Amino acid sequence: MATLTLKNVPDEVMERLRERADRQGRSVNREAIAILGAAVQPATPVDTEALLARLRATRVTLRGGPLTQEELNRYKREGRL
Protein backbone atom coordinates (compact mmCIF):
# COMPACT_ATOMS: atom_id res chain seq x y z
CA MET A 1 0.00 0.00 0.00
CA ALA A 2 1.05 3.55 -0.65
CA THR A 3 1.61 6.28 1.91
CA LEU A 4 0.19 9.76 1.50
CA THR A 5 1.35 12.76 3.51
CA LEU A 6 -0.72 15.92 3.58
CA LYS A 7 0.89 19.22 4.47
CA ASN A 8 -0.62 22.51 5.55
CA VAL A 9 -4.05 21.09 6.42
CA PRO A 10 -6.04 24.01 7.88
CA ASP A 11 -6.91 23.60 11.56
CA GLU A 12 -10.62 23.93 10.79
CA VAL A 13 -10.47 21.11 8.23
CA MET A 14 -8.55 18.89 10.63
CA GLU A 15 -11.05 19.52 13.41
CA ARG A 16 -14.00 18.66 11.13
CA LEU A 17 -12.17 15.52 10.02
CA ARG A 18 -11.62 14.50 13.66
CA GLU A 19 -15.30 15.12 14.46
CA ARG A 20 -16.42 13.14 11.44
CA ALA A 21 -14.06 10.27 12.33
CA ASP A 22 -15.47 10.21 15.87
CA ARG A 23 -19.05 10.06 14.57
CA GLN A 24 -18.12 7.17 12.27
CA GLY A 25 -16.14 5.34 14.94
CA ARG A 26 -12.96 5.52 12.86
CA SER A 27 -9.49 6.87 13.28
CA VAL A 28 -8.69 10.09 11.44
CA ASN A 29 -6.53 8.08 9.04
CA ARG A 30 -9.30 5.60 8.24
CA GLU A 31 -11.83 8.42 7.82
CA ALA A 32 -9.53 10.26 5.41
CA ILE A 33 -9.09 7.04 3.40
CA ALA A 34 -12.87 6.52 3.32
CA ILE A 35 -13.44 10.09 2.11
CA LEU A 36 -10.75 9.81 -0.56
CA GLY A 37 -12.08 6.43 -1.67
CA ALA A 38 -15.61 7.81 -2.07
CA ALA A 39 -14.30 10.85 -3.94
CA VAL A 40 -12.51 8.82 -6.60
CA GLN A 41 -15.25 6.25 -7.24
CA PRO A 42 -16.55 6.27 -10.80
CA ALA A 43 -19.75 8.22 -11.17
CA THR A 44 -22.88 6.09 -11.06
CA PRO A 45 -25.13 6.78 -14.03
CA VAL A 46 -28.46 8.33 -13.07
CA ASP A 47 -31.61 6.62 -14.28
CA THR A 48 -33.46 9.82 -15.15
CA GLU A 49 -36.78 8.11 -15.83
CA ALA A 50 -36.74 6.40 -12.42
CA LEU A 51 -35.72 9.64 -10.74
CA LEU A 52 -38.53 11.57 -12.42
CA ALA A 53 -41.02 8.89 -11.45
CA ARG A 54 -39.93 9.12 -7.79
CA LEU A 55 -40.14 12.92 -7.88
CA ARG A 56 -43.63 12.80 -9.38
CA ALA A 57 -44.77 10.28 -6.78
CA THR A 58 -43.35 12.43 -4.00
CA ARG A 59 -45.04 15.53 -5.38
CA VAL A 60 -48.39 13.72 -5.51
CA THR A 61 -47.90 12.52 -1.94
CA LEU A 62 -46.98 15.98 -0.65
CA ARG A 63 -49.46 18.01 -2.68
CA GLY A 64 -52.28 15.55 -3.19
CA GLY A 65 -51.97 15.56 -6.98
CA PRO A 66 -50.03 16.78 -10.00
CA LEU A 67 -49.60 20.48 -10.75
CA THR A 68 -52.41 22.10 -12.68
CA GLN A 69 -51.76 24.31 -15.69
CA GLU A 70 -52.89 27.30 -13.65
CA GLU A 71 -50.32 26.50 -10.94
CA LEU A 72 -47.59 26.03 -13.54
CA ASN A 73 -48.38 29.41 -15.11
CA ARG A 74 -48.41 31.13 -11.70
CA TYR A 75 -45.09 29.56 -10.73
CA LYS A 76 -43.57 30.65 -14.04
CA ARG A 77 -44.75 34.25 -13.46
CA GLU A 78 -43.24 34.12 -9.97
CA GLY A 79 -39.94 32.82 -11.37
CA ARG A 80 -40.22 29.53 -9.51
CA LEU A 81 -39.90 27.30 -12.58
- Same-domain pairing of 15 and 34: yes
pLDDT for position 25? 97
pLDDT in tens, 3-22: 999 999 999 999 999 999 99
Q: Tell me the pTM.
A: 0.54
1 falls within a domain = no
CA dist., res. 60 & res. 12, Å (int): 42
Number of domains in the chain: 2
4 falls within a domain = no
Domain with 61 in it = 48-77
53 falls within a domain = yes
CA dist., res. 65 & res. 61, Å (int): 7
Contact (Cβ atoms closer than 8 angstroms) between residue 72 and residue 66: no
14 falls within a domain = yes
CA dist., res. 14 & res. 72, Å (int): 46
